[in-house]
Amino acid sequence: MQEKQKEKTEKTFYDSLSDEELVKLIKDSGDALTLRKCQEQIYDRYARKVYFKCLGIVKDHDDAQDLTHDIMVKILLKIRTFRGDSPLFGWIYAVTYNHCLSWLQKRNKVRMQDFDEKSNEIADSDAELDLKKLTELRLEKLQVLMDSLSESDRMILMMKYQDGFSVKDISTMLDLGESAVKMRLKRSRDRLAELVNNHHSDE
């Protein structure tokens, strides 16, 4: 009985810690049990979120599960290298996107094109997405249209508009120049705009 109460108290303690406090404990503590408890807490907080990120990119349950396992192992092994310059979830999502990108490239599902850094300036304005048409779409229908995009288009739109990464952040994560990222975003928005407009013209 006392052992169960102790475990419950420990769980409540680790549940109450912020991400930053967990990372600090992992970095500072030499106790194996403390390390394991902190790692378990981070796994419990983020494994499901990482899974849905992966599923949103690869669109396959089994592949998403395998990727989630590999990504969470990588995160727990590398977490001591996390500098704390940004929130932990941002770093975890960066690791997730990088791992998924590598996986897609190996599977030849996506080939990152080379962009000429000295090409014409890419406008920062959004593509001609008709806002009225977009807001009229039900959320599930918009998701269906998003799913019709290629993995690379879907991934970069998720990074920018779902997770709020800046062009500079995406540039670093994908190892692309900022003008190349702007080009990719514009092309992806254009493709989504075309799908939205076609959807309304078919109704």
pLDDT in tens, 48-94: 999 999 998 888 999 999 999 999 999 999 998 888 877 898 889 98
Hey, where are the domains in the chain? 9-106, 131-202
pTM across the whole model: 0.67
The string of pLDDT tens digits covering residues 113-161 is 433 333 333 434 444 445 455 455 555 566 677 777 888 888 888 888 8
DSSP category for residue 79: G
The answer to which of 1-10, 46-55, 114-123, 178-187 has the lowest mean pLDDT is 114-123
CA–CA distance, 187 with 181 (Å, rounded to integer): 10
46 CB-side CA count, 13 A: 27
DSSP 4-64: HHHHHHHHHHHHHS-HHHHHHHHHH---HHHHHHHHHHHHHHHHHHHHHHHHHHH--HHHH
120 contacts: CB under 8 Å, gap ≥ 6:
none
pLDDT higher at 46 or 110: 46
Q: Which fold has domain 131-202?
A: Arc Repressor Mutant, subunit A (1.10.10)
Same fold flag, 9-106 and 131-202: no
CATH class, range 9-106: mainly alpha
